[in-house]
Amino acid sequence: MGASNSTAILPQMPRAFELTSILSTLVLAACSGTSPLTAAEPSADAASVAATDASTPPVHDASITSAPDAAVDASSGPSPDASIDAGALTPFDSGTPGANQTITVFSLRSGTAPALVTAALPFALGELSNATSLQLFTGSKELARNTRVLARWADGSLRSLLVGFAPPAMTTPTVTVNVVLHGATAQTLPGDTPAVRATTVRAFADPARWSSSGALGFPFQLASAGTLAPAFFRRAAPVFQSVANPPSGSDADPHVRNYYDHTHALYMQMLAVGPSVSFVDRIDAEVVTYRENEIIHTGTRRGQYSAPPDTEATNPIDFNIVRRMYPQGLVEDYLMTGDTRSLDVAKEMAEAFIADVAGQTPYYPYTERIPAWTILGLLPVFEATGDARYLNAARTVGTLAVSHQTAMAAKYPNQAGVTGLTGSFVQDRRNAWFDNGESTASGAGSSFMTTLLVEALVRLHRDTGDLSYLDSATKAVRWLKVGCFVPSNDSSTVYTTDPTLGASDDPSMHAASFRYVCRADDNHAALPGLNPMFALALGLGWQRTGDESYRTMARDVLAFTDWGYTIKEYNQSLRSSSQAFFLLENPAGTFVPRQ
């Protein structure tokens, strides 16, 4: 099932500006042997989304090279690190381990078919140790194939395996190839298994298996399943067509187009609704544009983002740069296509994150999303490579966030004006909200940025088994529910698309939502356009507690469907919604342990 063919242009609306925040200085946990670096404090206007001359080319290094140590062993795949507890990495799996799979070969357009078509197959932890007996069939005819391991689980079993085979005759738009995991010794093709990004014929494994295997780090709901996903993806179809296929005008500016990880958002929609030529073309174009033109590949700033207007060269890395470094989407691209260049660039960014931990430590608390983006960038690279350095760095940042949350509970014991309520990752820069153009409140946190940090902490728990991260995320979700939620008719709330001081109420935006600054006497804004970002946090609340009010609240906020007027809002809405629907529509305790 592909995206809608609708080409209707959605009316433009003012978009939500975003903020950045602060924290008290914390002691750096292990991960870097260097001393914290002296650096200029990140600027308060780091959150502003400045207009850019679309004619200005992105900054990039003329020499695009990969470090030798970034290469992946094509024969055996990344090696698991012996220090990582395999038991902590057990993924959710709703399928049957060891069950056969299918590959769908798509005829995208007319033209010469490639000599080899490739598809990546996902596997759950412990499901398959090698591909010796993995056979491919069209009907009763076996297809000779070659393979390359892309990633392994910590126990050494396969996580993602690239298979290459001669494309079958495409007498219909799609052809199904059956994958038998435990057959006879397979017929093999000579030579390597390169990633083939053909424009005429492509092949993909069943999206349901990408979800149930946990190979991408988080299960997700297909667009046709349940009651929440179908309506959401009906809205997403015309949004994709109007703002992302392809992006134009201000949506094409790098700092807008890639914001919140456009590659990841595209993959999440394609996996939910099924591949189509539009998704394949957009993903291919976005991957190349982002990784080659907008990430630095040489010198002391290797791995950092740089494209106008965000070209700051600071130490620690400027907030504007950190919040546009997205290994996650590139790792997903690698795991689903076998394109090693995507993994190489993701590793460059992860190395930059590791190098930044010491200097960034005093500033992670400035905003909930800076530690969130760091963790969400490091963990997918760890999962793909097994290199414990990436996990250790993510744990350091996660521990800093949890420690700050605890400190803020003591400092502000009645958060959001509710007696005894805590759980916020309070923006506490000089005892006040970070961006004084939005608020000067003390003891307030960002509701929507908290959703990113919740997502990061849940993934950190999944990769470590450490309940402290999950408990921290659960406290933050309760703070969102009790302190930040507002119904559609709250007389004290300003429903708007602009979170700055003095914003006017827009009657067309009246919908259940969350206070943008939670809470402040000088800013009563709620931005329903951000509502899809809250679904995952509410899904976590349901999974951990079994409290039906979390699901009721999720249905209320998702009832607002007037989102997606810019590519930035498309990225925000798509990045975690399908994962959220999985959490919300499965029994409590399915994905994470109940309290």
Question: Over the stretch 115-126, which tens digit does the pLDDT of each residue have?
Answer: 999 999 999 999
589 occurs within a structural domain: no
Q: Does residue 209 sit in the same domain as residue 230? A: no
- Same domain, yes or no, for 198 and 224? no
End of a domain among 170, 193, 213? 213
Tokens, residue 550? 């979390």
Same domain, 179 and 234: no
361 and 499 belong to one structural domain: yes
Handedness of CA 332, 333, 336, 339 (dihedral sign): negative
Tell me, yes or no, whether 143 and 239 share the same domain: no
Residue 591 lies inside a defined structural domain of this protein: no
Residue 98 pLDDT = 61
Q: Would you say residue 82 lies in a domain?
A: no
Rounded to 5°, the CA angle 61-63-65 comes to 110
Beta bridge partners of 432: 429
CATH code for the domain in which residue 471 is found: 1.50.10.10
How do the pLDDT tens digits run along the chain, 595 residues long? Answer: 333 333 232 332 232 223 223 222 332 333 333 322 223 444 433 333 333 222 222 222 222 222 322 332 333 344 333 333 333 444 444 445 567 899 999 999 999 999 999 999 999 999 999 999 999 999 999 999 999 999 999 999 999 999 999 999 999 999 999 999 998 999 999 888 999 999 999 999 999 999 999 999 999 999 999 999 999 999 999 999 999 999 999 999 999 999 999 999 999 999 999 999 999 999 999 999 999 999 999 999 999 999 999 999 999 999 999 999 999 999 999 999 999 999 999 999 999 999 999 999 999 988 999 999 999 999 999 999 999 999 999 999 999 999 999 999 999 999 999 999 999 999 998 899 999 999 999 999 999 999 999 999 999 999 999 999 999 999 999 999 999 999 999 999 999 999 999 999 999 999 999 999 999 999 999 999 999 999 999 999 999 999 999 999 999 999 999 999 999 999 999 999 999 999 999 999 999 999 9
Same domain for 249 and 396, yes or no, is yes
Distance from C-alpha of 27 to C-alpha of 12, rounded to nearest angstrom: 45
Kindly state whether residues 221 and 209 are assigned to the same domain: no
Rounded to two decimals, what is the model's pTM? 0.86
Asked if the structure places residue 48 within a domain, the reply is no
What is each CA distance from 576 to 95, 285, 302, in whole angstroms?
21, 22, 28
Range of the domain at 227: 217-584
Question: Residue 37 falls within a domain, yes or no?
Answer: no
On whether both 205 and 326 belong to a single domain, the answer is no
> Of 181, 213, 245, which residue is a domain's last?
213
Long-range contacts of 112-115 (CB under 8 A, 24+ apart): 112/200, 113/167, 113/170, 113/198, 113/200, 113/201, 114/167, 114/196, 114/198, 114/200, 114/201, 115/166
pLDDT score of 200: 95
Distances (CA, A) of 489 to 74, 103, 484, 523: 58, 49, 14, 17
User: Which residue type, as a one-letter code, is found at position 259?
Assistant: Y
**Does 288 share its domain with 273?**
yes
Residue 74: what pLDDT?
Answer: 33
Number of domains in the chain: 2
* Residue 575 placed within a domain: yes
Q: Is there a single domain that holds both residue 280 and residue 393? A: yes
Whether 47 maps to a domain, the answer reads no
Mark whether 428 and 395 lie in a shared domain: yes
Alpha-carbon Rg for the chain in angstroms = 23
Domain end call among 198, 213, 228: 213
- Judgement on whether residues 190 and 225 belong to the same structural domain of the protein: no
**Residue 380 within any structural domain of the chain:** yes
